[in-house]
Amino acid sequence: MADVVLVIDPGRHVECDGCGKNFTDSPESGGLYGFGTKAYGPCCEAEMVRLAKQYNEEHEIRARCPAGKSFADWVREDLR
């Protein structure tokens, strides 16, 4: 039996894993990565940081969007 290789191409589409806001063509920077491989946009960043501090889970924040780079480009170029 031959091995099956499944390739998933997400394309350019990028949205916040927290609220679903579309960032595909947005130049907005900010956001973080963590909490079970989720990418949270600048729209949800402050709330996720607040919750991480409240529950002493700041170690779950694994990366932050670099200053000057859009959230969409960060997801497409660095996280995928």
- Regarding pTM above 0.85, the answer is yes
- Does pLDDT of 1 surpass 80? no
Report how far residue 57's alpha carbon sits from residue 62's, in angstroms, rounded to the nearest whole number.
Answer: 11
Percent of the chain with pLDDT over 90: 89
pLDDT, mean of residues 15-29: 98
Over 90: is that where the pLDDT of 51 sits? yes
Instruction: State whether residue 4 is helix, strand or coil.
Output: coil
Query: Contact at 8 Å (CB) between 72 and 24?
Result: yes
The confidence score (pLDDT) of residue 58 equals 97
| Spans of all domains in the chain | 1-80
Beta bridge partners of 70: 29
Per-residue pLDDT at 9 exceeds 90: no
pLDDT for 8 equals: 85
